[in-house]
Chain A
Amino acid sequence: MLRTPGETRASAYLEVAQFVYSTVVRLNAKNFTGWLELCADNFSYSIQAWSPEIRRDMTWLQHDRSGIDSLVRQLPRHNTDESIFTRHATVYTIDFDRDDAATVVSALTVYRTDLDGGESRLFAVGHYHDQVVRDGERWLLGRREVRLDTRSLGIGTHYPI
């Protein structure tokens, strides 16, 4: 069945949004290997925040794909708070740079749920700023910049968020 241009566009929007959500699903499942499978070879990842205290932009984590791969593979060797981290993303905007590349901004909230007793608390609020690229029939993350509004993060975490 032939699609109108509008239907094609809507389909692309839906694909990209669903792709962003699929990255969140894998992160929430602590399936970091699976999450990295959704990242391009030249993937870059960073967590940044603006500090009103020192009036500067801060970069709290920055890695390329191999750096993130190394980071998550070594997690079992570290002592880590194994609470459940639930990321809730809502895609706000999708701007297609080309048919096969888009810039996506999503609102992000992250909850931390204690293993002991199951109490959930807000961990962080911010945004994902993603660059996504089409690779054949699938989309991949080319870049993810996590911009946090929350800067008081308690004991922090070893996990990418």
Chain B
Amino acid sequence: MPRNAAQWNRTPPLPPTHYVDPLVYTSEEILAQERDKIFARAWSIACHESEVPERYDYRTYRHPAGKNLVVVRGDDGTIRTFFNVCPHRGNTILYNPAGNAKHLLCIFHAFAFDCRGNCVAIPREKAGYQERIGKGDFGLRAVRTEVGFGGFVFVNLDDRAPALETFIGEALDGMRASLEAEPLEVFTFHRAIVRTNYKLWHDTNSEFYHDYMHYHNRQTSMAAPGYFERRYTAFPNGHAQVGDQVVNYEAYEGFKSRDLSFPGMALNQWKMVDLFPGMTYNLRGSSLRIDTLCPISPLETAIEFRGLGLKCDTPAERAARVHDYNTIWGPFGRNLHEDLLGVLGQGRALERGQTYLVHGREEDSTIHDEVGMRHFYAEWSRWMGRSSSDPSADGASGVNGAAHREAALS
């Protein structure tokens, strides 16, 4: 039965844990708080160690809290991270996304920094600053950096945040042996800018009910044994794992069984873990996909996709992994376009007024249960200090959620 305006705006007849207020996706104020309360305090993947393989290699990174960073491999082999900002006049130091530089030189006034973040040159230093201020006062801002869980470079802007191991906990234990048996290497990277909220992409990675959208998955996964027995496991800090499955790729015309896998994995085995607040490890046997998210505005998100194989791959093995990855997950792949189309549609609908988003399916934590999203939003609410079902309930914004929604719709 169609609903009138009042009915449309009414909270769903479910516990508040089972729906999300659309303001959570559209509010500038909430995004500003997410940057401050979540992204500035949580661990984020900046890049993979294979993107800075040599001494003095660097890789820039736009952090989801809004900071521009640069990851540098030092002369001692250690990977460090700094703000990509000259402490003199606030200019960008490195413009290229990657490269090799013994000194990080700001082109503006030629301030130079070494690979450990020390300021090593200021033109006419004594003439201008005398003894009042000098190189020792112009070091780069260092950012906590840990490399792990498959060689990924994790960074945290919060100097007091718990260690990475504590933050991840046991969430990646189910695939860690496969990730760390051999060094990995990035073979593809692309960034999609999509008009949607970043959480909607993480939602897509956190629920499989939308497999109905994917012809490929209906053929290769939903019809395969064990699909409906896959279970979610929720971990502390908002992370969640989806149960493994062996995928029948041959059920899709033109596709064949994978010839390769990752160490310790059966052929065609699929493992997936979502990490709070916006990272996903997606290991489809022969290749690993890593998603990372950076909100640009409430309804615009940069999603970065990395594909990885084993560093020891032969050229033929690498070509096979690249092919397997891109047939599904590349920008022209079967699944990725559909997933992106889905969240674009959500973003479009939210722009024009939307009711609550329902995460109400309960199926004993099996594959179509929406417990993965509920787990995420419980953690989100904890970090934010406000409920995802009624984000104005703490009175911080002074805005009544329902009234705001009605105003947006009118």
Q: Which residues of A contact B (CB under 8 A)?
A: 47, 51-56, 58-62, 66-67, 70-71, 73-74, 77-81, 151-158, 160-161
Contacts and interface: CB of A to CB of B under 8 A. Distances in A.
B344 A78 contact: no
A2 to B, nearest CB: 48
A154 B97 contact: no
* Interface size, B (range): 35 or more
Contacts of B188: 51, 54, 56, 58-60
Interface string B255-294: 0000000000000000000000000000000000000000
A54 B254 contact: no
Contacts of A70: 253-254
B191 interface: yes
A153 B254 contact: no
Contact of B192 (A61, A66, A79, A156): A156
A137 B334 CA distance: 37
B326 A156 contact: no
B331 A60 contact: yes
Those 6 A-B pairs whose CB atoms lie nearest each other, nearest first: A70-B254, A156-B331, A155-B340, A60-B330, A61-B332, A53-B97
A53 B332 contact: no
B72 to A, nearest CB: 15
A152 B191 contact: yes
B176 interface: no
Contacts of B342: 79
Contacts of A51: 188-190
- Most A Cβ at <10 Å: residue of B189, B191, B326, B333: B189
A123 to B, nearest CB: 11
A79 B341 contact: yes
Contact of A58 (B187, B336, B337, B344): B187
A78 B327 CA distance: 14
Contacts of B330: 60-61, 156
Given A61-B330, A62-B326, A158-B334, A152 B215 contact: no
Given A62-B326, A70-B253, A78-B338, A152 B186 contact: no
B51 A154 contact: no
B59 interface: yes
Given A56-B187, A155-B344, 14 more contacts: A51-B188, A51-B190, A52-B98, A53-B59, A54-B186, A62-B323, A71-B254, A74-B254, A79-B214, A79-B215, A80-B338, A154-B194, A156-B337, A157-B337
Given A52-B97, A56-B187, A154 B193 contact: yes
Nearest to B336: A156
